[in-house]
Amino acid sequence: MRFAVYQESLIGGRPSNQDRMGYCFSRDALLLLLADGMGGHLHGEIAASLSLQTAGALFRERAVPTVADPQALLDELVFAAHQSLLGYRATHRLPDTPRTTIVACLVQQGMAWWAHCGDSRLYWLRRGRILARTVDHSHLERLVALGKVSPAERANHPDRNKLYNCLGSPTLPRVDKAPPVQLQSGDQLLLCSDGLWSGVREHEMAYRLSAGPLDDAIPALVRQADVANGKNGDNVTALAVTWLDDLRDPGQDLLMTDGLPRNQVITSIHPVQRS
């Protein structure tokens, strides 16, 4: 595999950053993860961190060096992360379970599979055009689907942050999975929290990602959203990959996994600091 990857997060106007992002890769498979801890509940940052750590650990077990059943893995990692949050509540005798959104994407053999719970998003882009994105599990998106709210009202609607699906809730999360897509060299996958997509219009996001390397585009997008969200704005987080699995010079830094041992997995996910 050959790909470029970049991630960045800003605290915004919040007292702490409850967003988490990370990635893991073996010789032949790549997992991208992003979670947004829900600030209206206890320990949102723990929920996001623990979910990523749980999902990353499953990937390390299954990617040998490819994942046998990508769709099944996405289900498994989401439900395992959910159970880890329930376990955290029981162990620490909390009055409520920490909660978080999650979006996950697995790439192998030139194909991408993704799944999500909540309103953290994935965008699939090609040459500055958005080919697909996840649909938020929010009251607002239900209203849009019913024709009761115009899509143009999404950014500023008062019900934008009312979610009906997340990890850590009393009921099992609903895992929305997209059918696999075939990537072309130059395609991009962007995972982001609502702090990013609420502060940057989609056409601007697509343009910036197509106009230069990720290490320029992602910091610029994150800063733009942070400024647009204002002094009381949300955490802003983005993780993006440009798929470069051919022999052409990509004009940017890239990771090449061909030389990795079969059983080795590289990760950017840090362990949870447990109290």
Q: What is the pLDDT of residues 75-101, one digit of tens each?
A: 999 999 999 999 999 999 999 999 999
100-129 pLDDT tens trace: 999 999 999 999 999 999 999 999 999 999
Quick: pLDDT tens for 5-64: 999 999 999 999 999 999 999 999 999 999 999 976 678 999 999 999 999 999 999 999
Contact 45, 68 (CB under 8 A): no
Q: Kindly tell me if the per-residue pLDDT of 273 is higher than 60.
A: no
Res 275: pLDDT:
42
Please say if the pLDDT value at position 153 is more than 90: no
Within 8 A by CB and 6+ apart from 14, the residues are: 39, 233, 234, 235
Q: What is the arithmetic mean of pLDDT over 187-209?
A: 96
Q: Which two tokens stand for residue 139?
A: 């009251």
**Residue 247 pLDDT grade (very low, low, confident, very high; cuts 50, 70, 90):** low
Backbone φ, ψ for residue 241 (5° rounding): -130, 135
Mean pLDDT of all residues in the chain? 91
User: Which range (11-25, 188-202, 241-255) has the least confidence?
Assistant: 241-255
More confident residue, 140 or 244: 244
Q: Which amino acid is at 222?
A: V
The per-residue pLDDT for 250 is: 54
- Check the CA dihedral 153-154-160-164 and report its sign: positive
125-152: pLDDT as tens digits: 999 999 999 999 887 777 777 777 777 6
Choose between 224 and 250: higher pLDDT. 224
Q: Domains of the chain (ranges plus CATH)?
A: 2-267 (3.60.40.10)
Please determine, for residue 249, whether its predicted confidence score (pLDDT) is greater than 60.
no
**Residue indicated by tokens 């790909």:** 3
Q: Which of 237, 202, 274, 268 is nearest to 25 (CA)?
A: 268
Q: What is the pTM of this model?
A: 0.93
- Structural contact between residues 111 and 177, judged by C-beta atoms closer than 8 angstroms: no
Percent of the chain with pLDDT over 70: 91
